Amino acid sequence: MKNLIIFSLASNQQVAEKVAKKYGAELGLVSIDNFADGEVLVKTLSDVKNKDAIIIESTAKNAHETLFELLLLVDSIKRSGAKSVKLYIPYFGYSRQERVSWFNEPVSCEVVAKILDTGKVDEILTFDLHHDIIEDFFKTPFTNLPTTSLFVDYYKKYFKEHHIDPKDVVVVSPDHGSNTRADLLVKELEGTRKVILNKSRPRPNLAEHLEVNVEDVKDKVCIIIDDIIDTGGTIISAADLLVRSGAKGVLVAASHAVLSPNSINKLLESPLDDIVVTNSIERRLPSEFKVVDISELINL
């Protein structure tokens, strides 16, 4: 596409390159200069006049810095005469701060939405938001895209390679927040069904723990579906429960591999038989982690 130009700062350079190649678009060049007092200057080095600019950038590591650099790049591109600016944020940082959980806390995600609105881009798109309510925080046209099709393709191939009958598969939502994601996967993986893990507190002052009906998972292959793997605690607890309940295999699919320090080793030492994530956050992962490509879902 002659008048299309694709940008990324640091978080999604590989995805940006794939999208540019897919559409025969130019890959934009960016300059980032840091000054002694902590200020930063971000600008396009490519000619964008009368072009449709696409910026692909997750706000994962140092999200506050990335957000500011992103806004400066948007301003540079707009002032340089771009015809339009569309922003893809594959992993939307601060998405887990979408409500007040404790006294005096801010709703950080809503603050971030207001900040991004000041950029006045034509559209913002993201993948698998932590909560649907976040869409209401924006005045800018906003689209939340599911990654379900990537996991559907992955598991159809996995079932075939491992001789698994979909009727022996249950899709597990580790909590009610992942209910919709589980429904979407079950709908596309014909023959499977859904199980939701329940959290209970047996007595006052005791920690919550997960529960499942043993008959729902015994002798089944279980797929835990979630939006984010961070510490891995919830997923590992769910895997332990499913194995104790008689599951013959436990797989996990997660959209965003945040992966806090030490989480990778903990996941690899857990009863999980397979882990698949997207590349919404680009990082090096052990070969045990399988990665599906979100660039396939970016349609321009």
Q: Cβ distance 180 to 172 under 8 Å?
A: no
Indicate if 148-297 has the same CATH topology as 4-145: yes
Q: Which two tokens stand for residue 155?
A: 């598991």
Strand partners, 172: 195, 224
Number of residues in the chain: 300
pLDDT at 207: 43
pTM, rounded to two decimals: 0.92
18 among known catalytic residues: no
Q: Which two tokens stand for residue 124?
A: 């913002």
Give the architecture (CATH level 2) of 4-145: 3-Layer(aba) Sandwich (3.40)
Q: Which two tokens stand for residue 53?
A: 């600019």
Catalytic residue among 114, 199, 220, 266: 199
- Angstrom distances, CA of residue 46 to CA of 73, 171, 207: 12, 46, 55
pLDDT at 199: 67
Cα within 13 Å of Cα(230), Cβ side: 10
Mention every residue, 6+ apart, whose C-beta is less than 8 A from residue 112. 67, 93, 94
pLDDT at 61: 82
Q: Which of 222, 277, 288, 217 is nearest to 251 (CA)?
A: 222
Assign a CATH topology to domain 148-297.
Rossmann fold (3.40.50)
pLDDT at 2: 74
pLDDT at 175: 78
Q: What is the chain's pLDDT, residue by residue, as a tens digit (300 residues)?
A: 679 999 999 899 999 999 999 999 999 999 999 999 999 999 999 999 999 999 999 998 889 999 999 999 999 999 999 999 999 999 999 999 888 888 899 999 999 999 999 999 999 999 999 888 999 999 999 999 999 999 999 999 999 999 999 999 999 998 777 889 999 999 999 999 999 887 654 554 444 568 888 999 999 999 999 999 999 998 999 999 999 999 999 999 999 999 999 999 999 999 999 999 999 999 999 999 999 999 999 998
Q: Measure CA of the first residue to CA of the last residue in the chain; give whole Å.
A: 10
Farthest-apart Cα atoms in the chain, separation: 65
Domain ranges of the chain: 4-145, 148-297
Looking only at the bridges linking them, the beta strands covering 249-257 and 221-229 are parallel
Q: Which residue has the tokens 């030490």?
A: 262
pLDDT at 202: 52
Strand partners, 195: 172
Q: Which of 198, 187, 189 is nearest to 245 (CA)?
A: 198
